[in-house]
Chain A
Amino acid sequence: MKWEVVIGLEVHTQLTTKSKIFSPASTAFGAAPNTQTAVVDIALPGALPVMNKSVVDKAIQFGLAIGANVRRRSVFARKNYFYPDLPKGYQISQFELPVVEGGAITINVDGVEKTINLTRAHLEEDAGKSVHEGMVGMTGIDLNRAGTPLLEIVSEPEMRSAAEAVAYAKALYSLVTWIGICDGNMQEGSFRCDVNVSVRPEGQKEFGTRREIKNLNSFRFIEQAVKSEVRWQIETIEDGGTIQQATVLFDPDTGETRMMRSKEDAHDYRYFPDPDLPPLVISEEWIERVRSELPELPAAMKTRFESQYSIPAYDAGTLTASKALAAYFEATVAAGADAKLSANWIMGDVSATLNREEKDISECPVSAAALASLIKRVQDNTINNKTAKDVLRKMWETGDAADTIIERDGLKQETDTGAIEAIIDGVLAANAGMVEEFRAGKEKAFNALVGQCMKASKGKANPAVVNEILKQKLA
């Protein structure tokens, strides 16, 4: 039997606000336990939550960025359950009326575009953390994270493979970091995915029973977990078993998913509207203010790059993968470099070196202006492409300007035809054999002669000029 995989994602993105969603305490990561806690975060008696408006700004930004409906009135509800890292005994979340409804994100798998619809995005607070390290016979509680604002983004079950799930997660990641509502630090838990997976016989309309894989914090884990879960579900059904609705955890060490709790163990969260918080009312003016502050979005920027810089769609797509990369490209062009050459250099040597050094474009030791001055030396024939690669490497290592390195190392390419002619004459005289071969019809010999000429010029001869004169001489 052929099986179809059905996947939906719930992604918890931690919003980049200075203070918590319902308290004035700081959200900074890594402080000593329980030092970033206001009375609300420890849930002292009498403490009350107050909505942080900048959190709402971020939710509106997201809603606008995905073309969703931003609800003019949404409601905070209490999700009741007991756990030591949940100080109030309930989490403030949104249940029936979320702040963002609908919207869509485009993904691209192997060159095929697909639109994934979103169900909703709602605001909620994060819980604290249980601490086991250094505790003997007890568990510690750190409430620094309690009350950190989260936007939970829920997709429709529209992904049909692990690859699509990963592509969706990456596209979402790219978007939330692009618009700056999330810092994207997955190690610190800023972007966590719950993945709902089910399988059904191809052609069947009804969904199969789903299992939810909790808390995946890397794209690689999403891929591994979904593949493992799909394999397990198909095997189970084919062996005559049935799938029970459950929550599972992914173990990166074994590469397998294991049961956390079954549907029978599921909590009754007893949701009800939080009487401490009036409904969140968002005015038209508020939405318009956020819209006016919204940065240009990746899709729009890609289209603009294609027309404004006359670069291919592929280049425009690559360069708009992150806001920092796009900004680097635009700065390079603004500093006078040719657009297509800039694209080539950035997607080529610059990206390759960054990858090798595991650095982000924001950490690139060669500034956009410095790269532009290098590219300009290629454009005006001061150096050739091959020399430029060496110069870039030296710029990377020393931080020196391109012109300084070219001058100091005498890398200026030879364009004087007289001087080049003299070099060629020397090469032809010394390589009579090759000349013979070329004349006998071996085209390869021509390239070998060019190589010899370049070598003789210590790489400084302009290859185009060499080609031209050599052709004339051998004609």
Chain B
Amino acid sequence: MFEKSIKQLSAGLAAGEFSAVELATEFLQRAKALNGQLNAFITLNEDLTLAQARAADATRAAGHAGALTGVPLAHKDIFCQEGWRTTCGSKMLENFVSPYSAHVVENIARAGMVTLGRTNMDEFAMGSSNENSYFGAVKNPWDVNAVPGGSSGGSAAAVAARLAPVATATDTGGSIRQPAAFCGVTGIKPTYGVVSRFGMIAYASSLDQGGPIGKSAEDCALLLNVMAGFDERDATSVERATEDYTRDLAQPLSGLRIGLPKEYFAEGLDAEVARAIDAAIAEYKKLGATIVEISLPNTRMAIPSYYVIAPAEASSNLSRFDGVRYGHRAAQYDGLTEMYEKTRAEGFGWEVKRRILTGTYVLSHGYYDAYYLQAQRVRQLLANDFAAGLAQCDVIAAPVAPTAAWNIGEKTDDPLAMYLADIYTLGVNLAGLPGLSHPIGFAGNGRPIGMQLIGNYFAEARLLNAAHQYQQVTDWHTRAPVL
């Protein structure tokens, strides 16, 4: 049951092998049994889950079932969901029950999918290890001493541990791809604007993008079909015809040109990761792909550019958490200023404070040009790099992270080391391109290794097609941790 693909679950529901309530109950039991160990969920709410499952069964009984009706999933705790506690991993929103639902949540509900729970994450999606959650670190299901990656660590861990068949996630600088890689699952960050940000709690608005995490590329494609779509409530949502992201899955890869950016395979890349990528590329060649070396010369500037732009936007986006209307408010204060100071000092964790301070600084009078504007210029250079690179190939293959998952606590005292680990994922967000991560093997210590595929704007179907074909001839994505 827990190893089934979405397609198989859907078929089982359609054939009456099990009901949505039975399915949800089984997954909930597993989640409850293992969450103490993994901390993948912040909130499980059996009543709400089963009510959704019963509604899905009723829809099916009435003959109105769609392809995904009754299929359960987990939501990253960043998507507002009416009636559910929506914390964003923060003390600030510890008791916040959203009065409305995100576009993504609405779409998924309309498809009849059943919410199993709300997954853990780095506070306000700021982090690469999921150690920045007010609700505690998430453990990597492959090794509970390892981080699961971040910020969508809860979603990746839940799928890897088979606590949920698929999960929603978001990616601002790698937050879908990197935890997917660390946990041995598949995830895709779509082109900026494909998935509505309405109701998705903002970290860095010009970079944030929702996407699916699943066991396979096929599962991701099916969930993306439901998540994506124009939304007039998000002014950055792209208005274009709806796509079926599964349409090209079966296409053979003969003639596919894979670009390898030389800057991504230079100093700093762990030898085990490099070897795993070599092996994966060899598989792709067997499937008919050809390899071209490309150059993305400004790659190393992605880190400073990202760590100016993202905190700048975050410093403004997080101003609304002021204790006035909802969320945490300090118990004792004298006057307005102290109410703000204490509320925000108590409500935010260290990494969030660090980024608010950084962002406030780079936007300040006299520094704006030197930092923010300069970072925006670099951002354009990075986009130009990708445009030139993608003119020479169909997809770019790259590492997701320099290493496999590190140990919990290993980098918590060194934020800079943590930031540097984002080097291979940030560029995609700065350029607004789609990026996919799929498992390609394991490090010597048994921790998963992933590989990234980067495509041109709106080339999601192509990326999913490539990963799916790879997954037809390999079994890394079917491996599950022993729990």
Contact = CB atoms under 8 A, between A and B. Distances in A.
A435 interface: no
A278 interface: yes
A130 to B, nearest CB: 10
A181 to B, nearest CB: 23
A47 B198 CA distance: 6
Contact of A48 (B235, B313, B315): B235
Interface stretch (B40-48, B293-301, B317-325): B317-325
Nearest to B366: A268
Contacts of B99: 39, 44
B206 A275 contact: yes
B235 A39 contact: no
Given A48-B233, A141-B325, A270-B316, 20 more contacts: A44-B326, A45-B86, A45-B88, A45-B96, A45-B98, A45-B321, A46-B201, A48-B234, A49-B235, A50-B232, A50-B233, A80-B363, A87-B324, A87-B325, A88-B319, A89-B319, A268-B364, A270-B364, A272-B363, A275-B204
Interface in A249-301: 268, 270-272, 275-278
Contacts of A275: 204-206, 236, 313
Given A87-B325, A278-B236, A272 B319 contact: no
Contacts of A89: 316, 318-320, 322
Contact of B98 (A44, A80, A277): A44
Contact of B372 (A42, A48, A272): A272
5 contacts: A46-B98, A48-B235, A50-B234, A82-B340, A272-B316
Contacts of A46: 79-80, 98, 102, 197-202
Given A45-B86, A46-B201, A89-B319, A141 B324 contact: yes
Contacts of B372: 272
Interface string A145-173: 00000000000000000000000000000
Interface in A31-59: 39, 42-51
A270 B205 contact: no
B198 A82 contact: no
A52 to B, nearest CB: 11
B240 interface: no
A473 B80 CA distance: 99
Interface in B298-351: 312-313, 315-316, 318-322, 324-326, 336, 340
Contacts of B102: 46
Contact of B80 (A42, A44, A51, A276): A44
In the A-B complex, list the 3 residue pairs whose CB atoms are closest, starting with the nearest: A89-B319, A275-B206, A270-B363
The A interface, classified by DSSP as helix, strand, loop or mixed, is: loop
Contacts of B232: 50
A276 B235 contact: yes
Contact of B322 (A50, A82, A268): A82
Contacts of B326: 44
A12 interface: no
B265 interface: no
Interface residues of A, number: 28
A87 B320 contact: yes
A396 interface: no
B231 to A, nearest CB: 9
Nearest to A22: B235
Contacts of A87: 320, 324-325
Contact of B325 (A43, A50, A271, A277): A43
Contacts of A84: 322, 324, 336
A42 B80 CA distance: 15
Contact of B316 (A39, A48, A90): A90
B18 interface: no
A91 to B, nearest CB: 11
Contacts of A90: 316, 319
B217 interface: no
B93 A45 contact: yes
Contacts of B315: 80, 270
Contacts of B155: none
A412 interface: no
B368 interface: yes
A88 to B, nearest CB: 5
Contacts of A20: none
B201 A45 contact: yes
A85 to B, nearest CB: 9
A14 to B, nearest CB: 23
- B206, B312, B321, B325, most chain A CB atoms within 10 A: B325
B431 to A, nearest CB: 15
Given A45-B86, A80-B319, A89-B322, A270 B235 contact: no
Contact of B312 (A47, A82, A268, A272): A272
A5 B236 CA distance: 47
B339 to A, nearest CB: 9
A256 to B, nearest CB: 27
A78 interface: yes
